[in-house]
Amino acid sequence: MTSNRRVLRSSSIAPASSEPKASPVPVPVSTPITFHPATSPPPQDAILIHAPTSTLPHLTPSELKLLRKKQSQLRLTSTSPSTPLTRTALNATLIFAQHEAGTAVLIHASGWALTCAHCFGDTAAEYNAGPKRRWMLFYTGDAVLVECRAWDPFRDLALLRIVGVEADVLVRAGRDLGAGVGGGGQKMPTPTPTFHAVKLHTGTLRPATRILCIGQPGRDDLESANADGTRKKTPYALVEVSQGAYRGMVPGVDAQDNREMGTLMHDAWTYWGHSGAPLVREVDGALVGLHSSWDEGTGMRHGVPAVAVGEFLGRHLPAGGMTKGTAIDVDAFLLVATPKANLLVKWLQNLYKRHLKGSQEI
């Protein structure tokens, strides 16, 4: 049964002609990370800021090279999302920086994200032997380090926490701002990052409901090869947005049991590597599930439904989505922000936008 399961996974190598070629909707730059002045003293579980250097923690030289390559490609190809709903979902989506592809989505502004459990290992042995920290990228090329905090192979879900952010100008700004913003020439605390997040759909979902799937297709073409036997590369972008519809639930199956195949059915285009990709309603951007697998016999795509996501989060996400000392929530911060703090926030945001623009012109 295990071998059959791996054939059905979208993260696994698929048989020839099992994934039909399609023309996904092109991914339409906004800012996926917002920085705020940190509280003092620094929180115990604060998200660390990593200045861009020739090395990053938890990466081999070859892995870092691939991350930089993906970063460069994303910064050259990302454009402004066409609608606010697309913008929120896209800003909340993360792609794995390693070769195997994979996708995740943020479900809380303080840095909590979801992906499929099999992205970290199909079995307990694979999960325990593999790294728990992975670098991921936003569609703008911004890099974050995530740590797997909960792994549930029964529901095929994993809870991730952002523990690091790669940023340069904001680190300097947070540490060196003086008379121009904070006054008195004093050092400012390192900025605290917060993020966009999708909301979980909790109502009834009718068949044929229009959805979007945002994910990272694998780079290897599994349907053809070069003359020397090596894999050809796919023409797909690192992040693809495809349209489709919700096609109901697999009948007679426990919606919580997504071990063999996702119990949610949909027909939005996917390729291997889309595992963990958010499935959101077109009308409001609410999360209805995560793409997880496909049926080679019918061509139907499958995913982990919102009902399983809700149960999983109820068991593993800290109350309110916050841990002791974690990053502050955006809305909560704005309620208590002082005028001086608001001035710093606007200055940092404008600086970050100029940094993004300069990166895209390189």
Residues 6+ apart with CB under 8 A from 157: 114, 115, 116, 117, 150, 258, 290, 304, 308, 309, 312
Are 218 and 234 spatial neighbours (Cβ–Cβ below 8 Å)? yes
Give the closest residue to 336 by CA, choosing from 31, 35, 39.
39
Residues 6+ apart with CB under 8 A from 262: 156, 289, 290, 291, 292, 293, 302, 303, 304, 305
Q: Which pLDDT band, with edges at 50, 70 and 90, does 31 fall under?
A: confident
Rounded-to-integer distance, Cα 7 and Cα 325, Å: 42
Residue 77 in any domain: the answer is yes
The single-letter DSSP state of residue 259 is: S
Q: How crowded is residue 266: how many other Cβ atoms within 10 Å of its Cβ?
A: 23
> Residue 336 has what pLDDT?
31
What's the mean pLDDT when you consider all of the chain? 79
Residue 1 in any domain: the answer is no
Higher pLDDT, residue 220 or 14: 220
> Residue 38 has what pLDDT?
67
Rounded-to-integer distance, Cα 99 and Cα 70, Å: 10
Which of 223-237, 269-283, 325-339: highest mean pLDDT?
A: 269-283
> Residue 332 has what pLDDT?
30
Rounded-to-integer distance, Cα 265 and Cα 167, Å: 39
> Residue 145 has what pLDDT?
97
Residue 218 in any domain: the answer is yes
> Residue 224 has what pLDDT?
62
Residue 254 in any domain: the answer is yes
Residue 172 in any domain: the answer is yes
Torsion sign over Cα 89, 220, 102, 140? negative
Amino acid 8 reads L
pLDDT tens figures, 126-159: 999 999 999 999 999 999 999 999 999 999 999 9
> Residue 82 has what pLDDT?
64
pLDDT tens figures, 277-302: 999 999 999 999 999 999 989 999 99
**Domain count within the chain:** 1
Instruction: Specify the CATH number for the domain of residue 312.
Output: 2.40.10.120
Residue 7 in any domain: the answer is no
Domain that holds residue 155: 22-28+30-360
Residue 211 in any domain: the answer is yes
> Residue 86 has what pLDDT?
79
pLDDT tens figures, 34-63: 988 766 666 667 899 998 887 899 999 999
Give the closest residue to 83 by CA, choosing from 143, 152, 154, 28.
28
pLDDT tens figures, 97-111: 988 789 999 999 999
Report the share of the chain in percent with pLDDT over 90.
Answer: 55
> Residue 192 has what pLDDT?
86
Amino acid 19 reads E
Task: Please say if the pLDDT value at position 275 is more than 50.
Answer: yes
Residue 8 in any domain: the answer is no
pLDDT tens figures, 171-213: 455 445 443 333 344 444 578 899 999 999 999 999 999 999 9
